[in-house]
Chain A
Amino acid sequence: MPRYPLIKSVLPHVIAVVIAAISMIFAQTAISAEKAYKNWDDVVSAAEGGTVNWFMWGGADNINSYVSDFVGSELKKRYGITLNRIGINDTAEAVNLVLGEKQAGNHENGSVDLIWINGGNFRSMKQGELLYCGYQNLLPNNRQVNWQDQSIANDFGLAVDGCEVPWNRAQFAFAYDSARTKNPPQSIPELIDWVKAHPGEFTYPAATDFNGSVFIRHVFYHAAGGVDALLGEFDQQKFDAVAPKAWAILNEMEPYLWREGKTYPNAIANLAQLFANREVALYFDYDPAIFGINVENGIFPESTRSYGLKDGTIGNTNYVAIPYNSPNKAAAMVTANFLLSFDAQFEKAKASIWGAAPAIDVSRLSDAQQAQFAGLPRNPAVVAPEALAKNALPELHPAWIDAIEKGWQENVAK
């Protein structure tokens, strides 16, 4: 029977084409549904009564309270949106959730509406096409963001491309107890000498920790003679030229570290504990607001002070992003827009609330609002963001960071 094999061989193709056509129709409707918001009013009316499941690191009670109490109640009052804060241990958990949903074919009814994100997690989501992009011009408060600023337009060297909305800025700084330490080191070369002169009084978390990794990058920048050579895509030749110098510096420091460098704290919280216990003299953090929070919480002594380095410290912006399969995109956009508002940014800039540096360009605000920002009392433990920003260094592309972290494990930690 010659006709049977023909049908057998053609039929699967027909089915495949039909399936492809159907899925294309669905894909089309999905895209057009997302483009249905002609203007902001459309978004706001679509958002009313919606729920936003916001996945964010949940380890700070003051940030939790700011989000649940202030942001949550304002969203309810102004837009009728219910904010559901979901505290997680590690942002990667939320990324994996969205990834799993995509693999299972759940493209419309995901469980995550908003993620507090940056760096490697943003790269994973952007490259995996897990994000909803291109809505930032709809947000009225987007005009308060300076997208010309490269440290906002690029998240760890990766172009944002409208796939996330800035929320906070952070810049690495050192902290010390002014009652105990008189002249803390002011640059990476000074730090190297200082560590040798004060054995056992310094250490840094392993490269697996976010803050440990950024400290190692400071040494790496120093070894490279500046960050300029390291910007852009990862370059193995450049890496191989700089890396041995950086490992040599860190290995030379090792015997003078806390516990002779035989072990490294595995998390920044452990370094904070060592500093609180006066076992080490220096602490550092990517977010200087944490110094003030720790003093407020009684973890750090009142005499804690902080500073940036003469040769600069690395800064980043952190963002909120909407997954592609969020069923509440309109409500998530309204939330992202509210987070950029003067009210929300000013509230979280208060030292008693959080003390986070604004992601908006304060000079674009009204004079009265600018005066309010200028008049904010700052915890004396927290270095002025303006002073830090004078010597700001950019972050590297995530591929560089991966290579440095891996190299540290192989050459320094061993």
Chain B
Amino acid sequence: MAPGKNGQGLPTLVWFSLALLVTWLILPLLPLAVWSVSRSWYFPDLLPSAYSARAWTYVFSPTSDILPALGRTALIALGATFLSALVGLPAGRALGLYQFRGKAIVELLILAPTIVPGIAVALGLHVVFLKLGLAGTAGGVVIVHLIPTLPYMVLVMAGIFSNYNPDAEAQARSLGAGYFQTFYYVTLPAILPGLLIGSLFAFLVSWSQYILTLLIGSGRVVTLPLLLFNFASAGRNDITGAISIIYILPGILLLFLGARHLTGRNRTLENLKQI
């Protein structure tokens, strides 16, 4: 077998899967873009019979509250991501590195929020949050978003730590690095790809919360999904399309920003030299 043939076969496959991925990801979004500028679009026409900028005018008007909601949603998602990293990193480390009694039950409990429907939990939680004075506040919404985001963060981190060798930390410590230096130069580079993936999941899960935000936020914390669902359920495809495009932008942005860092493995040894 000629080595060139092998080299040719792989790119074809890569190109094919890339094309498939693009079709899968981008193509369903096209109608949204067309809807957002359409005025009337009837089946079975391939294109709208009339166009209008009305949906975008509404989206950018102060009445719609879309742009402030975009900022609010982003801050809440960032807050929820940060907090779940803070909690999820040590939890993932414990689950990935150590064996202990009842580990299976802990793992099951962490997974539970992804299995139990949100609405069932939300109504009970609302009462608790009201008593704590957290209902109707952005802080309360950030905290309640930890319920769906934490499982993703903890499980990704547990996976990363199960392939992690803590001996490198011991090496660094023996060379005189402090706790913080060890974490920053040794642990963090090794787990960074996982941390980014976990954060990406956490951000997107928080970004798409509806019922938890509505109930715990008492309607006072208005995020993009709340506004989007209003119009989606009312059949306003033009405004739904326009909001949807704004809604998916941060996800795409994060994916591209994160993608560069996702392959950052084997930098641990390099960083060891810096100590």
Contact = CB atoms under 8 A, between A and B. Distances in A.
B126 A278 contact: no
Contacts of B234: 57, 59-60, 269
Given A104-B131, A111-B136, A277-B42, A93 B214 contact: yes
A133 B44 CA distance: 52
B233 A59 contact: yes
Contacts of A298: 38-40, 50, 52
A277 B236 contact: no
B68 to A, nearest CB: 12
Grouping DSSP codes into helix (H, G, I), strand (E, B) and loop, the B interface class, with mixed when no group exceeds half, is: mixed
Interface stretch (B12-20, B178-186, B222-230): B222-230
Interface string B117-133: 00000010011001100
Given A269-B234, A273-B235, A277-B43, 19 more contacts: A53-B219, A57-B230, A60-B234, A61-B231, A64-B64, A84-B220, A87-B226, A88-B230, A89-B229, A93-B214, A100-B123, A104-B127, A105-B131, A111-B136, A267-B233, A272-B235, A279-B43, A297-B39, A299-B40
Name the residue among A101, A112, A267, A297 with the largest chain B CB count within 10 angstroms.
Answer: A297
Interface string A295-337: 0011101000000000000000000000000000000000000
Contacts of B239: 61
A88 B218 CA distance: 11
Given A86-B220, A100-B123, A58 B230 contact: yes
Interface string A75-104: 000000000101111000110110011011
A100 B130 contact: yes
Given A101-B130, A111-B219, A111-B220, A87 B39 contact: no
A97 B218 contact: yes
25 contacts: A53-B220, A55-B219, A58-B227, A58-B230, A59-B233, A64-B64, A65-B61, A84-B220, A87-B222, A89-B230, A93-B215, A94-B219, A97-B215, A100-B123, A104-B127, A106-B130, A111-B218, A111-B220, A112-B219, A267-B233, A270-B235, A276-B40, A278-B42, A297-B54, A298-B50
Interface string A239-278: 0000000000000000000000000000111101100111
A170 to B, nearest CB: 16
A68 interface: yes
Nearest to B210: A89
Contacts of A268: 235
Contacts of A87: 222, 226-227, 230
A61 B130 contact: no
A97 B219 contact: yes
A60 B234 CA distance: 7
B153 interface: no
B230 A59 contact: yes
A299 B235 CA distance: 10
Name the residue among B219, B222, B226, B230 with the largest chain A CB count within 10 angstroms.
Answer: B219
Contacts of B227: 58, 87
Contacts of B226: 87-88
A188 B40 CA distance: 31
Interface residues of A, number: 42
Given A69-B63, A100-B123, A89 B233 contact: yes
B58 interface: yes
Contacts of B238: 297
Contacts of B218: 97, 111-112
Interface in A201-256: none
Interface in A22-78: 53, 55, 57-61, 64-65, 68-69
Nearest to A276: B42
A86 B219 CA distance: 6
Contacts of B135: 111
A61 B58 contact: yes
A355 to B, nearest CB: 16
Given A276-B42, A299-B40, A96 B123 contact: yes
Interface in B45-82: 50, 52, 54, 58, 61, 63-64
Given A69-B63, A87-B230, A89-B229, A96 B215 contact: yes
Nearest to B38: A298
A269 B233 contact: yes
Interface in B228-251: 229-231, 233-236, 238-239
Interface string B89-109: 000000000000000000000
Contacts of A101: 130
A270 to B, nearest CB: 7
A24 B220 CA distance: 31
Nearest to A300: B40
Contacts of A269: 233-235
B230 A278 contact: no
A381 to B, nearest CB: 14
A100 B129 CA distance: 10
A270 B236 CA distance: 11
A112 B220 CA distance: 9
B224 to A, nearest CB: 12
B214 A88 contact: yes
Contacts of A57: 230, 234
Contacts of A60: 234, 236
The 9 nearest A-B residue pairs measured at CB: A59-B234, A269-B235, A277-B43, A298-B40, A111-B218, A104-B130, A298-B39, A58-B230, A86-B219
Contacts of A100: 123, 126-127, 130, 215
Contacts of A105: 131
Contacts of A106: 130
A270 B43 CA distance: 13
Given A88-B219, A89-B233, A96-B215, A103 B63 contact: no
A222 B238 CA distance: 38
A327 to B, nearest CB: 11
Nearest to A63: B234
A68 B61 CA distance: 11
Contacts of B231: 58-59, 61
A278 B43 contact: yes
Contacts of B52: 298
A89 B226 CA distance: 8
Interface string A279-291: 1000000000000
